[in-house]
Amino acid sequence: MRTDEIRRRFLDFFAERGHTVVPSAPLPTPDPTLLFVNAGMVPFKPYLTGEAPAPWPRAASVQKCVRTLDIEEVGRTTRHGSFFQMNGNFSFGDYFKPTAISHAWELSTTPVTEGGFGLDPDRIWVTVHTSDDEARALWRRIAGLPDERIVTRGDEDNFWSMGVPGPCGPCSELYYDRGPAFGPAGGPAVDEDRYMEFWNLVFMQYERGEGSGKSGYPVLGALPRRNIDTGMGLERMATLLQGVENLYETDELRPVLERAAELAGVRYGADPAADVRLRVVADHVRTALMLLADGTAPGNEGPGYVLRRILRRAVRAMRQLGCHDPALPELLPVARDRMAPGYPEVFEAYPRIADQAQAEEEAFRATLKQGTTVLDTAVAEARRDGGRLPGAQAFLLHDTYGFPIDLTLEMAAEQGVEVDREGFTALMEEQRERARADTRARKSGGTADTSLLRGVLERHGTTDWRAWDTLETTSRVLALLGPAGPVPVARSGEIVTAVLDRTPFYAESGGQESDAGTLSAASARAEVIDVQRPLPGLVVHRVRVTEGELAEGDEVAAAVDPEWRTGARQAHSGTHVLHAALRQVLGPAALQSGSYNRPGYLRLDFPWRGPLSAAARSEVEEVANRALRRDLPVTVRWTTLAEARELGALALFEETYGERVRVVEIGGPWSRELCGGTHVEHAAQIGVVALTAESSVGAGTRRLEAAVGLEGFGYLARERDLVSRLAEQLQAPRGELPDRIAGLLERLKAADRENRRLRQQAVQARAARLAAGAEEAAGTAVVAATADGGPDDARALATAVRDRLDARRPGAVAVGVPTGETAVVVVAVNEAARGAGADASVLVKRLLSGRGGGSPVLAQGGGLRAGQLPAVLAGFPGLLAER
């Protein structure tokens, strides 16, 4: 049974039993504790925890997931994949254990001809928690399972919680016996390769308190509303129903694996080491495809770094298999064709996906070349200093040059050098924790503990949010919170987080900066400096008290700065206009991958290879401003997500959408996007869109920046003044400025070319004199000299002298150049010297006590104090005599 058929049967089964089918959420998630959705329940977390009311009593989904914590195990085991799909059915206070168990058993064992999966009931085992006698009895009654196939397990395996105070409960897992060919008998407690887990039923019935680990916390009591959260691994069910050994051999991955084997000229199954690499390629290519399809772009931090690492691991695995040609253009189309039946957006976005992946592969090939040179130098220093490469050096290679740690480990080991992996890991974790802390602090409005905010939400309910309707509200302060906890009173000069019962302030989201404004009480005044939505339904305000004392319970006038809001509306609507103009000029592949806007300024990121031409930039700007001149109407409508997609509304991937969505249109279908931001009523209110910059923000991603509104007019006025000053200084009419400046630049280039020619003549003349005065040492013509300038000048002089020496006799040259307090030495030898056993890289290392490297005919070293240079060069002839 094909994977897309398994997916369809699962959703049809639960739809027939009253479940609302919910589409998969995008892989990037706004949850500050996660980079990607890593479990099927993540999009439903607010409903399962009670933070927000569920829109439906029961739901079913097939959720895309990415987990990278065990990425090193990908390909080595049969159960680890960085991308996987989780079939799930959920109940929010509706049905509980009997129905969940009945549904799982029915779908698993119903014959294929009757719409089920047709698993043999006699080969299914289940596990239950030691305390869950109810589940054990239900499995006996509903499924007729004998006691020997109902295995009892403890907290580590069969009790679920999210790791923080909140819902928890026992779970029951279903396993299928694949037969003696896969391992010994005895059930899942004996062998989980033979007995493969394929479905987990979580029964959320208790509330847990503070604590750590799987069981280091108290269970406080029963939940008032019990929930069901289940997860059936789609790849695992495909493995079982397709009769293959592991998930890499299922119909969505095997074609990628086979194409990789074909490109590398190897056969899957012939060599265990090659098989691991082929499985890595198959898994990572599919993961990269799905991340790119959901709008993640390769980068140096956060989700972008995970994607970059996955792409580069795939490319490197192909190189290890012997394929040194670009591989992703051959492999991604295969993955696309297998995934498109379940995810049509993969096919629609493929031109953009292909461009970004190809750019990343090309960049990585350049990285390998550059990083290898740096690594070689670092390894040489490590060998001299004890044979251990410091963790800081490995981290530098990773962070600055994009050199993967596994590549550093392998290449260092080949040269007999150990890497301080622990030091590297510690530095990586520090970097990740800084990023996580920044994200958490931003998302929680500066409050250290989100459990405090959750308590406020439970006591007072959701915030009455009025940002779309008004700039002012009369509000009450529900709570004041500082980094250490609740603050009863905030005094002048203090910064705290304020929670109000209602607010007119826009909370930062969708790329739009939060509103600015004030809170005014009878005896206090506070400046609003940030507004966030850390939990669904809860808006918090970061405020600085400027007068008096602000206290919990105070009634305040909450007022948005009208000038700020006007500028914010212009910038956000301007972003939509620029996006539509960009797509009109460049085509649908120029889909926004990120944005940010604040009053007067916007930026928009989009996938594109290479800079835009001046003509393209001008056309985009013109199309945008023509839309403003036509004063296109801006309208807002609410509809279902399905209807919005049918209308062609663009859903941008950094956002998470509910069942009903807000569609913002500018000129009807010309610009139609799902958006929660604030907007102008007519396009002309934007004023002007003036492009100020276009740049690269990573392989395959470009960024446009623009000024809008008054700031846009100010930018154009400054440009006009600049042109006026240039015209005055060059004494030329404005229309002639481009030609006049081009003429000046050409004259400067001509002067630079003449200077280079004269310098080369001087180098050649000096090289001739130095070659003519070469010393004799051990049958070798030797020259040692200093150069003016920098390392490039030293290399030029060294090679020029070497080429002037008699090619029939061995010749060696050393040229040093001071570079501030230190000096660089370049050594060059001719082919005759090479034939006599001389090696430039060995000579420079001996000359500089190991500090240097390069090729056998040209090498360079440094780390020498400038004052030591004359003595070092004087010793060069003697060094050759010792050879």
Hey, which bits of 67-184 come out as E strands? 83-92, 124-129, 150-153, 159-161, 166-177
Q: Answer yes or no: do 107 and 149 share one domain.
A: yes
CATH number, domain of 69, equals 3.30.930.10
Q: Answer yes or no: do 354 and 496 share one domain.
A: no
Average pLDDT over residues 275-288: 94
Note whether 248 and 277 are within 8 A (CB). Answer: no
Note whether 726 and 737 are within 8 A (CB). Answer: yes
* From 147-161, 378-392, 585-599, the region with the lowest mean pLDDT: 378-392
Residue 750 belongs to some domain of the structure: no
Note whether 282 and 308 are within 8 A (CB). Answer: no
Instruction: Give the model confidence (pLDDT) of 1-21 as tens digits.
Output: 999 999 999 999 999 999 999
Hey, which bits of 773-872 come out as E strands? 775-777, 780-786, 811-819, 822-829, 853-854, 858-865
**Side-chain half-sphere of 165: how many Cα atoms within 13 Å?**
12
Residue 481 DSSP SS3? strand
Q: How many domains does the chain have?
A: 5
493 burial via Cβ count (<10 Å: 0-12, 13-18, 19+) = exposed
Q: Answer yes or no: do 265 and 227 share one domain.
A: no
Express as a percent the part of the chain with pLDDT over 70.
Answer: 95
pLDDT, position 448: 42
* Model confidence at 653: pLDDT above 60: no
Q: Among 107-111, 316-320, 594-598, 710-714, name the most confident range.
A: 107-111
Q: Answer yes or no: do 224 and 93 share one domain.
A: yes
Q: Answer yes or no: do 71 and 106 share one domain.
A: yes
pTM: 0.64
Residue 53 belongs to some domain of the structure: yes
Q: How far is Cα 135 from Cα 154, in angstroms, rounded to an integer?
A: 14
End-to-end CA distance of the chain: 72
Comparing CA positions, the residue from 186, 96, 117 lying closest to residue 148 is 186
Written as six digits, the tokens of 787 are 């150069």
Domain boundary residue among 560, 578, 598? 560
Residue 621 belongs to some domain of the structure: yes
Q: How far is Cα 874 from Cα 123, in angstroms, rounded to an integer?
A: 83
Q: Which residue has the higher pLDDT, 498 or 510?
A: 498
pLDDT, position 185: 93
CATH number, domain of 807, equals 3.10.310.40
* From 214-218, 244-248, 406-410, 592-596, the region with the lowest mean pLDDT: 406-410
Q: Answer yes or no: do 300 and 202 share one domain.
A: no
* Model confidence at 654: pLDDT above 50: no
Average pLDDT over residues 779-790: 90
pLDDT, position 642: 77
Average pLDDT over residues 851-876: 85
Average pLDDT over residues 117-130: 96
Q: Answer yes or no: do 335 and 408 share one domain.
A: yes
Question: What long-range pairs does 844-850 form, CB within 8 A, spacing at least 24?
Answer: 845/380, 846/879, 847/814, 847/872, 847/875, 847/876, 847/879, 848/872, 849/384, 850/380, 850/381, 850/383, 850/384
Residue 359 DSSP SS3? helix
Q: Which residue has the higher pLDDT, 34 or 724?
A: 724
Annotated binding site: 572, 576, 675, 679
Average pLDDT over residues 177-195: 92
Instruction: Give the model confidence (pLDDT) of 618-645 as tens digits.
Output: 999 999 999 999 999 999 999 987 788 8
Q: Answer yes or no: do 556 and 569 share one domain.
A: no
Instruction: Give the model confidence (pLDDT) of 141-170 as tens digits.
Output: 999 999 999 999 999 899 998 777 888 999
- The one-character DSSP state at 633 is B
Domain boundary residue among 405, 436, 467? 436
Q: Answer yes or no: do 281 and 309 share one domain.
A: yes
Q: Answer yes or no: do 117 and 263 share one domain.
A: no
- The one-character DSSP state at 475 is E
Note whether 702 and 696 are within 8 A (CB). Answer: yes
Mean pLDDT computed over every residue of the chain = 88
The pLDDT confidence band at residue 454, using thresholds 50, 70 and 90, is: confident
Q: Which residue has the higher pLDDT, 691 or 366?
A: 691
Average pLDDT over residues 99-109: 97
Q: Among 75-79, 652-656, 763-767, 812-816, name the most confident range.
A: 812-816
CATH number, domain of 631, equals 3.30.980.10
Instruction: Give the model confidence (pLDDT) of 293-329 as tens digits.
Output: 988 888 777 788 889 889 988 998 998 898 888 999 9
pLDDT, position 699: 63
Average pLDDT over residues 737-761: 88
Using left for φ > 0, alpha for ψ between -120 and 50, and beta otherwise, residue 519 falls in: beta
Residue 863 belongs to some domain of the structure: yes
pLDDT, position 658: 64
Residue 249 belongs to some domain of the structure: no
CATH number, domain of 535, equals 2.40.30.130
Q: Answer yes or no: do 652 and 556 share one domain.
A: no
pLDDT, position 698: 67
Q: Answer yes or no: do 577 and 596 share one domain.
A: yes
**DSSP symbols for 249-311:** GSTTTHHHHHHHHHHHT--TTS-HHHHHHHHHHHHHHHHHHHHHHTT----SSHHHHHHHHHH
Residue 764 belongs to some domain of the structure: no
The domain of 417 spans: 254-436
Annotated binding site for Zn(2+): 572, 576, 675, 679
Residue 271 belongs to some domain of the structure: yes
* From 218-227, 332-341, 643-652, the region with the lowest mean pLDDT: 643-652
Q: What is the H or E stretch that residue 671 is in?
A: strand 671-674
Average pLDDT over residues 27-41: 82
Residue 530 belongs to some domain of the structure: yes
Instruction: Give the model confidence (pLDDT) of 689-748 as tens digits.
Output: 999 999 887 667 889 999 999 999 999 999 888 888 888 888 888 888 888 888 888 999
* Model confidence at 770: pLDDT above 90: yes
Domain boundary residue among 195, 220, 244? 244
* Model confidence at 440: pLDDT above 60: no
* Model confidence at 599: pLDDT above 90: yes
Instruction: Give the model confidence (pLDDT) of 197-250 as tens digits.
Output: 999 999 999 988 888 777 788 888 898 889 999 999 999 999 999 999 889 999
pLDDT, position 434: 63
